[in-house]
Amino acid sequence: MPFLTLAIESSCDETAAAVLADATDLRSSVVLSQIPIHRAYGGVVPEIASRQHLLGIRPVVHEALQQANIAMTEIDLVAVTHGPGLMGALMVGVSFAKSLAYALDRPVIGVNHLDGHVLVNRLEHDWQVPAIALVVSGGHTDLLYVKEDGYEVLGSTRDDAVGEAFDKVARLLDLPYPGGPQVESLAQKGQPIVPLPIPKMNQDSLDFSYSGLKTAVSRQVGHFASEDIAASFQHVAIAHLMERTERALRKTGLRQLYVAGGVSANQGLRTALAETTAKLGVNLSIPSLRYCTDNAAMIAVAGYHRFRQGHVNDYNLFPVPNLTW
Ligand code: KG4
Ligand code: ZN
């Protein structure tokens, strides 16, 4: 009998559920996106997100069980994102997961959303630690030293996250939310000819900075074509990520790089990472596109492995909106 994990994710604007059998046999992954609802406001509205999660969670969990062709009573473990994220949004997932676990008399495990982004690599790739991870999402830009049971932060952003920079540049260019994919498709039509500074910091640092780049972009709006601004911004944003990542790999001598988070769906970044790791003789693992942006498969994978390592929660599990590594 396989060990069945039901996972729930509701930290931001996706209501998601997934069923995982043992470590890698993903039986279903359902994502209900609220993007069309928040688009009218140019970004995620927390109160609306909570209400949409409330409406969506039961049908999404039901759909995940149905697609996996299992009954609720067959679940062995309930995994749920308990942070970081929006309090009201997390609350819906955590409350639902705890109630379900209690009713079924099964354990519940709170999963760090960030851990989920990194560990989803285990679904499709070999797991070799120690390794370096590059996490690029809407809230995080981090270089990590990955161990079997956790992480050490080697560097992170001092101001905006790279995904946030994509979203802000999109707004400057009058593109709809969420900005990342919109900037990417516009960039494909332009040339990186707009002068923008590559963030410069102390030679030894593994930290990032994106707010200066965003400000530089705002000064060029109106002076260059939007496509060229998008292409130039993306070029510099990626160059900054590559420079720090290469430095982290050289410094540590590690030969495995895991990449995670919504921005890793960016094709320009994927190509740059492939080139840099090939040059350095480093093995590169990036999730398939559907596992880069928020989903519950990643929560199932992380929940499964952390549970196997002895982690579990009780019914006092509560959301932690500012949860970190
Ligand atoms: O990991 P994620 O789905 O949610 C968070 O945990 O934050 O990441 C969302 C971020 C947003 O900032 C979005 O604009 C960005 O990832 N993103 C992209 C692309 N797809 C999503 N950025 C650049 N290129 C993309 N193709
Ligand atoms: Zn995420």
The helix (run of H) or strand (run of E) holding residue 131 is strand 131-136
Pocket test for ligand 1, best of 264, 293, 322 (most atoms within 8 A of CB): 293
Q: In sequence order, what DSSP letters do the residues of 258-323 get, joined into one string?
A: EEESGGGG-HHHHHHHHHHHHHHT-EEE---HHHHSS-SHHHHHHHHHHHHTT--B-TT----TT-
pLDDT at position 204, please? Answer: 84
Q: Is the CB of residue 34 less than 8 Å from the CB of residue 49?
A: yes
Q: In sequence order, what DSSP letters do the residues of 217-259 get, joined into one string?
A: HHHHBTTB-HHHHHHHHHHHHHHHHHHHHHHHHHHH---EEEE
Check pLDDT > 90 for residue 163. yes
pLDDT (tens digit per residue) in 267-302: 999 999 999 999 999 999 999 999 999 999 999 999
Pocket test for ligand 1, best of 134, 263, 273, 294 (most atoms within 8 A of CB): 263
Q: Is the CB of residue 211 less than 8 Å from the CB of residue 159?
A: yes
Tokens of 282: 């480093």
- In which residue are the tokens 């079924």 written? 104
Q: What is the C-alpha to C-alpha distance for residues 199 and 208, in angstroms, rounded to an integer?
A: 8
Check pLDDT > 80 for residue 59. yes
125/40: higher pLDDT:
125
Check pLDDT > 90 for residue 177. no
Half-sphere exposure of 215 (CA within 13 A, CB side): 8
Above pLDDT 70, what percent of the chain? 100
Question: Residue with the nearest Cα to atom 16 of ligand 1?
Answer: 262
pLDDT at position 155, please? Answer: 97
pLDDT at position 200, please? Answer: 80
pLDDT at position 159, please? Answer: 96
Q: How far is the CA of 104 from the centre of ligand 1 (A)?
A: 35
Q: Which atom of ligand 1 is nearest to the CA of 163?
A: 12
pLDDT at position 203, please? Answer: 75
Tokens of 179: 């900005």
Q: How far is the CA of 137 from the centre of ligand 1 (A)?
A: 5
pLDDT (tens digit per residue) in 16-28: 999 999 999 999 9
Pocket test for ligand 1, best of 137, 173, 184 (most atoms within 8 A of CB): 137
Ligand (nearest to CA of 181): 1
Backbone region of residue 19 per phi and psi (left: phi > 0; alpha: psi in -120 to 50; beta: other values): beta
Ligand (nearest to CA of 292): 1
pLDDT at position 66, please? Answer: 98
Question: Residue with the nearest Cα to atom 14 of ligand 1?
Answer: 180
Pocket lined around ligand 1, Cβ cut-off 6 Å: 137-139, 163-164, 166-167, 178-181, 184, 261-263, 265-266, 293-294
Question: Average model confidence (pLDDT) for the chain?
Answer: 97
pLDDT (tens digit per residue) in 87-114: 999 999 999 999 999 999 999 999 999 9
Average pLDDT over residues 303-324: 97
Tokens of 50: 């909570």
Check pLDDT > 90 for residue 319. yes
Average pLDDT over residues 144-149: 97
Q: How far is the CA of 220 from the centre of ligand 2 (A)?
A: 30
Provide the whole-model pTM.
0.97
pLDDT (tens digit per residue) in 219-265: 999 999 999 999 999 999 999 999 999 999 999 999 999 999 999 99
pLDDT at position 201, please? Answer: 75
Check pLDDT > 80 for residue 202. no
Q: What is the C-alpha to C-alpha distance for residues 163 and 12, in angstroms, rounded to an integer?
A: 14
pLDDT at position 199, please? Answer: 87
